[in-house]
Structure 1
C-alpha cells in the first residue's frame, strides 16, 4: 500500500489588482489618459454643484480611477507572469475571442473555420510566450552580469533567486507565547493581532526624559500644497509597488501626471485647510515579511503596511518640506538616512583603523549598538517633544 501526503492548497489573496502592464503600450496609455480626463471633467461639474465633504469627494475620485482601471486595463490574473509582454496579452485576448466563436458556431462549416482560426491564434500565443520568456531570461542574465561587475551582491542574489524560482513559505503554522503550535486560521489571526498590537502600542517609558523644547522655530513652508509640490511628489512615487485598500496603483496616477496633479490639487488643498484626511487613508493592509530564524516565531517577521498611493503623495509633500528645514540642522558627519550621502567614508575610515590595529598588533575595541525594532518601539510623545 502506497501513501502520500495531500498537497496543501495555497490560499491566494482576493485583493483586486489591475493589469498595469498594459500601460506599457502607447495606445492603451492614450486611451487611459483620455478616459480619466473625460471622467474628471464630469466630476468637476459635480463638485461645483455640490459642497462635498472630504470623504465624499475622495470616494468620487477613487471611483473615477478604479473604474477607469477596470474598463481600460482589466483585472490581473494571479497566474500571469511578470515577464509577459503587452503584445502577448493582446494575443491572449484574441485567442479568447476565437474560442468564443467556436462555442457560438451553429454550422459545421462555421465551426471548422472558427477552429482553424483558434488554432492559429493559439500557436501565435505560444510563440509569443516563448519569445517573452527568452527575452526575460536574457535580460536577467545581462543584469546579473552587470551587478557582478559592479560588485552589487544584493541585486545579483535577487536575480539568482528569481531564476531559481525559490521562495520562502509564509503560510506555515506559528506558535503562541507559550510555544504551542497554532494550526487553525482563526487562532493564527488572533496571535498575529496580539503580536502587532503589543509591538506598536508599547507602554510609555517609566522614567520619561526631561526634554527642553528647542527655542528656535525651523523655517518650514506651511502653505497649502501647490501644483508644483504635488507634481514633484507624484514623480517620486515608485512604480511596481502594491496598492492600498483603495486599489489605486501608482502606475494609474503616473500615467497622466498633469491630470493627476489637477485632481489631487483641489483635494489636498481642502485636506490642508480643514486639517482632516479621508478615513480610508488611515487604513492599510498589514503584510508580514519573514526575516531570519524560526519562522514559527512572530518576532522573526517584519510587518509593513500597504497604504493608499494618493495618500503617499500628501506624505511626500510634507516630507519634502520637513527635509528643507531639518537638513540644515543635522551634523555634517551624519551620513545615514540622508539624500546623496552614503556611509562609504565612515566604512573606509573604520577599515583603515582596523588595518592599522592589525599592523601594529594593538588592541581595538568596537562597540556596535543595535536597537531591537527601533522604529516600532519609539515613544511618540517623547519624539514629539524633540521638535
Structure 2
C-alpha cells in the first residue's frame, strides 16, 4: 500500500475522533512590539502596590517603615549636599514602600486559572495524546472522563471568581470607593478590546503602517515645536526689574498643603516616587522634604536627579 504524502496527512482530530482536518500553523511573533537594544525607555519600572495605602494596616506599616529608616540617620540640614539629601529621602521612601506595600502584580487574562487548572489541562493533553497513539475504547473513555472533570473544574473556578468580583464591587459601593467601583464595572462591560495602532493624517485618512505613522508624528511635532520667530519691530518693550522681591522661606505648613494638593493615580517620573507615597508619609517625612526644599531655596540649585 502506497504511503500517504506528508502534506496530505491530517494534523488535527476532533475530540470525538470523527473529524479530521489539516490546519495551517501560522506563527505570530508580532503581538507585542519588539524592543530595540538601543532604546532609552525605562523598561523595568518599579510599580508599588499603592492599593494597600487605602487600608489602615498598610498605611500604618508604611509610616512605621519610614520612621524607622529616618530615625537611624542624622537629621538633614541645609548645609548638606542637595543630591545626597534627595537620594537619602528617595531611597528611604522606595525601600519602605517595597517592604510594607510590595510591588504591583498585573492581573492575568484569566485570574481564576490557577495551578490546579494547569495540572488538569496537562492531564487532558496527555490523555489526548495517548488516545491518538492508541484509539482504543479504554483510552477513549479515559479521555472523556478527564475532559468532563476538567470542564467542571473550570466552570466552578470561574463561578467562584465572578462571585468574588461581585462581592468586591458591592464592598466598593458600600465604602464609597467610586474609582475602583467604576473600574470593576468597566472590566465586566468592556471585556477584551484589541489594541489598535492607527493615526489620522492632515486629511483625516487613517494610517496603520509604522513608517507612515512615524512620518505623521514627525511632521506634527515639527509644526508644533518650530514656532515662527516674530519680527524685531513687533516685539513690545517690557520693563525688566533687576531687584528681586524678598520672599520668605517655605514653611512646614506650606509643604504640607502642597503635598496634599498633589494629583493621585498619576505615573511617577524618573525618580519612581508616586504622589501617594509622599502623601501617606508621616511628620518625619514631611520634615525631611521641608528641609530639602529649604536647602534648595537657599542654594538656588536643584538636584541632578
For normalisation by structure 1, the TM-score amounts to 0.45
Please report how far the alpha carbon of residue 262 of structure 1 lies from its aligned counterpart in structure 2 after TM superposition.
0.5
Change (3 A) 1:130 1:14: farther
Task: Identify which of 22, 28, 31 aligns with 1:9.
Answer: 31
Q: Is 2:66 the partner of 1:36?
A: yes
CA distance in 1, matches of 2:97, 2:88: 14
Change (3 A) 1:126 1:142: same
Contact 1:227 1:262 in 2 (8 A): yes
Correspondences of 1:161-172 after superposition (within 5 Å): 164-165=189-190, 172=197
Task: Identify which of 76, 93, 96 aligns with 1:65.
Answer: 93
Aligned length: 224
The equivalent of 2:57 in structure 1 is 27
Structure 1 residue runs without a partner (length 5+): 85-94, 97-122, 147-156, 281-387
The equivalent of 2:210 in structure 1 is 183
Q: Is 2:279 the partner of 1:249?
A: no
Q: Is 2:77 the partner of 1:55?
A: no
Contact 1:19 1:73 in 2 (8 A): yes
Q: Which has the larger radius of gyration?
A: 2
Change (3 A) 1:221 1:75: farther
The equivalent of 1:136 in structure 2 is 169
Correspondences of 1:39-118 after superposition (within 5 Å): 39-45=69-75, 47=76, 52-79=80-107
Please state whether the residue corresponding to 2:73 is helix, strand or coil.
helix
The equivalent of 1:263 in structure 2 is 288
Please state whether the residue corresponding to 2:47 is helix, strand or coil.
coil
Please report how far the alpha carbon of residue 31 of structure 1 lies from its aligned counterpart in structure 2 after TM superposition.
1.3
CA distance in 2, matches of 1:67, 1:193: 40
Please report how far the alpha carbon of residue 66 of structure 1 lies from its aligned counterpart in structure 2 after TM superposition.
0.9
For normalisation by structure 2, the TM-score amounts to 0.55
Q: Is 2:305 the partner of 1:276?
A: no
Please report how far the alpha carbon of residue 64 of structure 1 lies from its aligned counterpart in structure 2 after TM superposition.
0.8
Structure 2 residue runs without a partner (length 5+): 1-21, 35-42, 116-155
Please state whether the residue corresponding to 2:72 is helix, strand or coil.
helix
Correspondences of 1:210-229 after superposition (within 5 Å): 210-213=236-239, 222-229=247-254
The equivalent of 1:240 in structure 2 is 265
Please report how far the alpha carbon of residue 269 of structure 1 lies from its aligned counterpart in structure 2 after TM superposition.
0.4
**CA RMSD of superposed structures (Å):** 4.9
Q: RCO (CA 8 Å, sep 6+): is it higher in 1 or 2?
A: 2
Q: Deviations over 1:348-377 (max 9, x none)?
A: xxxxxxxxxxxxxxxxxxxxxxxxxxxxxx
Contact 2:197 2:208 in 1 (8 A): no
